[in-house]
Structure 1
């Protein structure tokens, strides 16, 4: 009799599990998490890196502002080194500021970070908005530092970063923040979605 009661209890438990409504795992229900925790990539813009050959300085900025600024100021010493990542030029939900730091008013070296302060460095401005952790398809913005030339260089390409720090004089400067890879967001008025 005890064995048959155990069987009936197990059988009723199985039936109640089968009769329970199934959770909705449709593709639309899975999309909700990303829109609730990611900034809108269609509002993002391309950031580029430039190099000042006179001051041996690399700088980052949104492409449109960087091109406009160097052109309007007649800053012929800056060389465009190309697009390196996608981020937001205005604050978005789920993003944090990417700060530009320098050592003095001479502007001989720039360092970028989501940290609100870096000992020995002066926080100058916010160049854009990025993720603080690796989420939503973001990649690390990797820094390298050349102490002899007091220059920081940034890339999202891991192999490029590894090769650079393997060269004498360059050291790992850590992760400045997490950005979207090229081909994501808005670029030159066209939208790219990965």
Structure 2
């Protein structure tokens, strides 16, 4: 069982009751504004199973995210090995998805700092990246708060979307272990 804690949060394994809550999150147009589509329950169940398989094979993955005080599920955060066709893959991506009612409270930043620390110190990663569409200012702000650096030369057209898709262009943020060691934010 994976279990990490921050001052206010618990990052952990997926529980049976998470499917309905995670599906609700993936059906929320506000939460999914910068994703190409909404996901149904079957697709979300498959997503959770991929995260569990990733955890089994790599020892880390996307975790459920809960408030420590009452164990309320608020979303997910984690690290994923990515190998889709792009100039920076294969790589390890840090990503999060949090219910809008919990936005602007520092939860993504708090959990992401914990994951960067685990990634670089316990998991032996040498670089962690993140990416999003340019207009996703809130996620970009989190990336910057946790120390990731915008690689302007690395911005890219996502290969899983058609070139004319309004969400196909992405900004790329990166952080190496050396950069992390120089400026630890945990």
Q: TM-score range by the shorter chain?
A: under 0.3
Q: Normalization by structure 1: what TM-score?
A: 0.23
Q: Normalization by structure 2: what TM-score?
A: 0.24
Larger radius of gyration: 1
Q: Which has the higher strand share?
A: 1
Q: Which has the higher helix share?
A: 2
